[in-house]
Amino acid sequence: MPTPHSPIGIFDSGVGGLSVLQALRHELPHERFVYLADSGNAPYGDARGDAFVQERSLAIAHYLLQQHDIKILVIACNTATAAAVELMRERMPQLPVIGVEPAIKPASFSSQTRHVGVMATRGTVSSQRVARLVSEHGLHTEFHLQACDGLARAIEQSTEQALPAQASATEIRALCRKYTSALGSFGHKTGQMDTLVLGCTHYVFVKDDLRALLGPDIQFLDTGAPVARQTRRMLEQRKLLTPESGDAPQLARAEQIQLMTTGRLSALQAAAQRWLQLPAHCSQAVNVRSESSAATPA
């Protein structure tokens, strides 16, 4: 049975969920974290169907619960949340599960022009979960949805050491330009979008590229910080917060974090170093088999 000293489990289709892990580190600096990137099957959102995403999500959740005795699971992937969170809660009622979803609700309150752009994977944009959010919060706000095919994959591949850095950066900037242009006009005039929702956890890592295209006055919304706060609330309710001792660190230390990937180990190591300043020894490769809901070291 999980205890307050058990780790928090996090998974994503790849390295994008590291943005959520970073927010969790800041919110819960005394906790231990186990993060699994299913990079061997990434990205989920461009071409994978719901059945595939559900199968992978359940397999990874079972592994994290059985092998690491996690006390709570954060799905750091919008596509997996949309496709699988309800099924996971039904199949694994003993495990608290927190999903992420595009920040459509807060955008409806904060937009001044009442026009909001939403960039996400095709799987997220076409999901019933997003359709429901838009319906619930679109009475006074118009949401412009854009499926960004290839962007999550390009961000994922940018961590591959064998890929020339300049070529990778050029591709990412070109995709950002393509999809922001497709959304329409950004600004603070009537009919313009003054807010952009980053509906994929990968996209947080290209915020600078998007900012360069859209200017300094456009509001960007992602879900990292709200998810971290919700995780704290759920742990408090269940009396599963790790007891604090001494001065609280600014963020969880490297020895409190274990990273795993079903893809190339060097890619996860590079991403963790680049975005979270975590050393290579925090990462390992694993093989998650959907058919047996098991995992073994690669």
Per residue of the chain (298 residues), what is the pLDDT tens digit? Answer: 889 999 999 999 999 999 999 999 999 999 999 999 999 998 887 767 899 999 999 999 999 999 999 999 999 999 999 999 999 999 999 999 999 999 999 999 999 999 999 999 999 999 999 999 999 999 999 999 999 999 999 998 888 755 556 778 899 999 999 999 999 999 999 999 999 999 999 999 999 999 999 999 999 999 999 999 999 999 999 999 998 876 657 788 899 999 999 999 999 999 999 999 999 999 999 999 886 444 445 4
Per-residue model confidence as pLDDT tens digits over 173-204? 999 999 999 999 999 999 999 999 999 999 99
CATH code reported for the domain at 8-100+224-297: 3.40.50.1860
Q: Which residue spans of the chain are classified as CATH 3.40.50.1860? A: 8-100+224-297, 104-221
Report the alpha-carbon distance of residue 272 to residue 267 in Å, rounded.
Answer: 9
Residue recorded with tokens 């998974």 = 11
CATH of domain 104-221: 3.40.50.1860
Number of Cβ within 10 Å of residue 12's Cβ equals 32
pLDDT over 70 for what percent of the chain?
94
Cα-only R_g, the chain: 19
Tell me if residue 282 is catalytic.
no
Distance from the first to the final alpha carbon of the chain: 27
The reply to whether the predicted model has a pTM over 0.85 is yes
Among the listed residues 77, 148, 176, 282, the single catalytic one is 77
For 239-263, the pLDDT digits (tens) are 999 988 766 577 888 999 999 999 9
Which of 148, 176, 200, 282 is an active site residue? 200
77 is catalytic: yes
Query: Where are the extended beta strands (E) located within the chain?
Result: 8-12, 33-37, 72-75, 97-98, 115-120, 142-147, 195-198, 219-221, 257-261, 283-289, 294-297
- The three-class DSSP label of residue 6 is coil
